[in-house]
Every structure is written in C-alpha cells, then in structure tokens.
Amino acid sequence: METLDTRDVDGHELIVCEDHAATGLRAIIAIHSTVLGPAAGGCRMWPYATTADALFDVLRLSRGMSYKNAIAGLPFGGGKAVIIGEPPKHKTPQLFEAFGRFVDSLGGRYVTAEDVGTTTSDMANVARVTRYVAGLRRAPGQAGGDPAPKTALGVFLGIKAAVGFKLGRSDLEGLSIAVQGLGNVGYDLAGLLAAAGARLKVADVRKAAVERVCDELKASAVAVEDVLDEDVDILAPCALGAVLNAHSIPRLRARIVAGAANNQLAQERDGQALLAAGILYAPDYVINAGGIINVSREYQGGATEAQVLEDIGQIPLRLTEIFERARRENRATNEVADEMARERLGARRQKMVA
Ligand code: NAI
C-alpha cells in the first residue's frame, strides 16, 4: 500500500492507493477531512481511463462529502473511495473483500457505503471483513439500506423548495421537468415528480430505462444530447458530474437546476454563470444529502426510518436558507453553500483548538 500525506494538496488529509494483484482491485481512498468525525462517503466503481482521472474524481468527491456532511449537520467528515473497473464485469466478492480490508486498514478513519457502480450486495461483501461500512440491508422500519430512495426523496423535497423560492408556488402540478439519468435515484425521483403532477421529459443512455419510465409514468423521451436544452421549468441532472459548464449553461432554458448528480458544476465559476442567467441552482451536495443521512444514521446505530425521514425533511429548509442568503448578498448559491460548509468546519476546528 502506497501512502501519501497530502495535507497541502487540495486540503486533503490523506490519499491512499491499493493495487491488489490477486483480486484485480485497484482503488483509491481520499480522506478530505476528519474534523467533524470519521470521513464518510461512498465507494464508486467506474472504468476510469487513467489513474489520474480516478484521482481527480476521488479528490473532488471527497471534498464534496466534507461539505455535504457539514451542511447536513452530521457528525462525520468527508471521504470517498473509487475502484477502477467496469461494473458488473470486473466485480467479484473477493474484489470487494479486498476493498474491505483496504478500508479496514485505515482503522475507522474512513467509513464506506455504496455509490455509482456499487450496490448493497457489494457492501455485504465489504462487511465480511470490516465494520467500517454502511448501506447494508436492514430490518423494516430501521434506518439504513440502499441510500438511493432517500436521496431521491431529498431531491424531490429540494425541488419543491426551489419552486417555492423561484416560482412562488407550493406544488409541482403541471410544471415541466427534464430528468437526465434514470438510474437508482433518477427512477425514484421521476416517480415522486409524476405523482406530484409534474410533466416529465426523460433521457438516459440505457434505452430500457427510458422505456420503463415512459410506460409507467407517461413521461416523454428526449435524446441524451438534447436533454439539457429542453424548454422546461426545471432541469434535474441525475447522471454525471460537470454537466453545467461554459458550453451547456448558455443553452439552458430551465429556470431551476436541481438534481442528484454530484459535482454538477464543471468549475466553481459556473455557479456565477447560472446566477447571471437568472437560473436558480440548488447546490448538489445540499440537495442530494438524503442518502448519506440514511447511511450515517445506520452506521451510528439504533435510529428508525422515521427519524431519517425527519432529518431529510431539513433539506428543503437548508436550501431555502442558502437561496435567501444568496439573494440578499447577490451571490451564486454554490459559493454561499461552500462558505456555510467552511464556516461549520472552521467553527469545529476552532473549538478543538480552544
Ligand atoms: P446510477 O448509476 O444508478 O444512475 C445513473 C444513470 O445515469 C444510469 O441509468 C446511466 O445509464 C445514466 N447515464 C449515464 N450517462 C448518461 C448521459 N450522458 N445521459 C443520460 N443518462 C446517463 O447512479 P445513481 O445512484 O442513480 O446516482 C445518480 C447521480 O446521483 C450520480 O451522480 C451520483 O453520484 C449522485 N448521487 C447518488 C446518491 C445515491 O444515493 N445513489 C447519493 C448522492 C448523489
């Protein structure tokens, strides 16, 4: 195992890499901050073209987790793991056990869970060898399990908060919403939006996922390359990061961007461009915190699903606080959210020093 102390690199505390020939595991764990508690964040499996791509992704994601956990008021710091490989082709129980041993070697400084490309079954294999894992199957009524439905619920409530703030209405009846990505979160979100009376336009690179949502929810399909340009009230990115960039923002016609995808802004300054275009942006790590709220409650133990739902109910309130502060100060919402997260991290650091 190769260990780098990266206190000076992007503010990270630690980055560790694992190359386990016997199982083919190639993974990186990045710990951005343990100021608020053990670094918690999921494990992504993705066929990164280069190790540098994987490193860049894990660094951005782990910093996002510090901010996400801080804003959500959770007693956890921020970290993330990536496994370089193509799911499900490169998945084996042994690979996830090797990953579990890698997590365990950090002695609880990092707690893992599922993310894009990994599932509750994968986490069950991780849990064979370490206790520093959440997102496992749980008994009915208890906190935990697959985070995606809870993420979708938080995004749904966040969209309603954004609509209340920007459009001055409390319901979604008849509003048009484009959903990009119909995976674990996007599919559940589409169901909640349709039940609330929204008109959906949906896109996914997987044709079957689009057909399913169109059949079940009377959504209309749009081409993957057109979904960001749709003339809709709301755009909900639920697929990839960096979809909001210098190329896409001038073409957006939505008045609100609010979705689950992590790292939606290609660069921090893209938040400014959204502000200038009069588009309300719900900062990704604030609106998509439902999943981490769920798994962190599971990890702490003893919480019920009802308590998780109560915590998720705070997401729209936090967003509205950010929207109001951004409007008062005429600033981009992502800048305000980052500042609030840093304030919370800084306040805790000062307490520790005092
Ligand atoms: P997923 O992998 O189940 O779904 C992603 C979907 O996007 C897939 O159906 C995929 O085919 C589709 N997709 C990929 N490229 C696309 C493109 N160019 N255009 C349209 N669709 C495309 O992932 P999941 O769990 O639904 O997560 C979605 C996003 O939300 C990710 O960015 C993830 O990081 C973020 N997120 C997920 C959480 C969770 O609880 N699962 C928690 C917080 C954030």
What would the pLDDT profile of 128-142 be if each residue is shown by its tens digit? 999 999 999 888 999
Which sign, positive or negative, has the C-alpha torsion 327, 330, 334, 337? negative
Element (H, E) at 346: helix 333-353
The DSSP 8-state label assigned to residue 313 in this structure reads T
User: Quick check: 349 pLDDT over 70?
Assistant: no
Average pLDDT of the chain is 94
pLDDT reading at 278 higher than 60: yes
Indicate if the pLDDT at residue 297 is higher than 50.
yes
Question: Which ligand 1 atom is at minimum distance from the Cα of 240?
Answer: 32
What are the pocket residues of ligand 1 if the criterion is a CB atom closer than 6 Å to any ligand atom?
A: 115-116, 147-148, 151, 180-186, 203-206, 209, 224, 238-240, 260-262, 288, 291
Nearest-atom index, ligand 1, CA of 237 = 29
Q: For atom 1 of ligand 1, which residue has the closest CA?
A: 183
Burial 28-55 (b: 16+ CB within 10 A, else e): bbbbbbbbbbbbbbbbbbbebeeeeebb
β-pair partners for 235: 178, 257
Cβ atoms of residues 260 and 241 within 8 Å = no
Long-range contacts of 6-12, Cβ-Cβ distance < 8 Å, separation of 24 or more:
9/59, 10/59, 10/63, 11/63, 12/59, 12/62, 12/63
- Residue 218 designated active-site: no
Residue 68 predicted with pLDDT over 80: yes
Taking only the tens place, the pLDDT of each residue in 174-214 is 999 999 999 999 999 999 999 999 999 999 999 999 999 99
Paired with 200 in beta bridges are 177
Q: Radius of gyration over alpha carbons of the chain, in Å?
A: 19
Q: Which of 119, 205, 222 to mutate to test the pocket of ligand 1 (most atoms within 8 A of CB)?
A: 205
